[in-house]
Amino acid sequence: MNIFRLAGDMTHLISVLVLLLKIYATKSCSGISLKTQELYAIVFVTRYLDLFTDFISLYNTVMKLVFIGSSLAIVWCMRYHRVVRRSYDRELDTFRYWILLGVSFILALVLHEKFTLQEVFWAFSIYLEAVAILPQLVLLQRSGNVDNLAGQYVFFLGAYRAFYILNWIYRYLTEQRFTRWISCVSGLVQTALYADFFYYYFISWKNNAKLQLPA
Amino acid sequence: PKPAPSKDEL
């Protein structure tokens, strides 16, 4: 565990927990894409199948359970909570996410380390995570502005990806270990998707103005 | 270098 990895995990954790707590406290999920949240729930469930087969560390196990639990709780809130579900921007959240699921699954069937159930699902979760933010970015784009919650959420997720890349570089230099290319290429794609958003986030922060994305 | 055990990352 190095400082970049820890910072990455913490910003990831903050992004998910802040989202869940704010949805619950304000009873509103306006500006948040249910499709992205469902994709993340699928990502965590399919990636952490090794909870049943391998023990890495207590930290690892607890974090996995927190990620699975909190992502399912967010989906539950947005879908079924009597009050919260009314604020869901259903008509703006129309990204055809089955395309992302299909492409990721086919890619995982073709590109994986070993042809076992666990390895194929692991690769699938890596590919899916890389593109899972797209429905959220499209929703932000369509609504034309971002409230604090959605903006902070995407900001922390982007920070998490940036720290993970630093973590890989650090591990390469200090542990003489290279990150598996499946994670590496997917991670770079994922981080690139945030770059555009970060640009506008930075501009709005600099001007102390509400975040406005171009139509 | 050896491959990093990617499964130890989240």
On whether any CB of chain B is under 8 Å from the CB of A163, the answer is no
Are B4 and A179 an interchain contact pair (Cβ–Cβ within 8 Å)? yes
d(CA B7, CA B10): 7
Minimal C-alpha gap between B1 and chain A (Å): 5
Name the 3-class secondary structure at A56.
coil
Q: What is the ipTM for the molecules in this complex? A: 0.81
Are B7 and A168 an interchain contact pair (Cβ–Cβ within 8 Å)? no
Domain boundaries, chain A: 3-205
Are A177 and B1 an interchain contact pair (Cβ–Cβ within 8 Å)? yes
Ordered per-residue pLDDT tens for chain A, 215 residues: 899 999 999 999 999 999 999 999 999 999 999 999 999 999 999 999 999 998 999 999 999 999 999 999 999 999 999 999 999 999 999 999 999 999 999 999 999 999 999 999 999 999 999 999 999 988 988 887 667 788 889 889 999 999 999 999 999 899 887 788 899 999 999 999 888 778 877 787 788 777 777 76
Which residues of chain B does A172 touch, with a Cβ-Cβ cutoff of 8 Å?
Answer: 1
State the amino acid at position A110 in one-letter form.
V
Which residues of chain A does B3 touch, with a Cβ-Cβ cutoff of 8 Å?
Answer: 177-180
C-beta neighbour count of A41 within 10 angstroms: 20
Conformational region of residue B2, where left means phi above 0, alpha means psi within -120 to 50, and beta covers everything else? beta
**Residues of B contacting chain A (CB within 8 angstroms):** 1-10
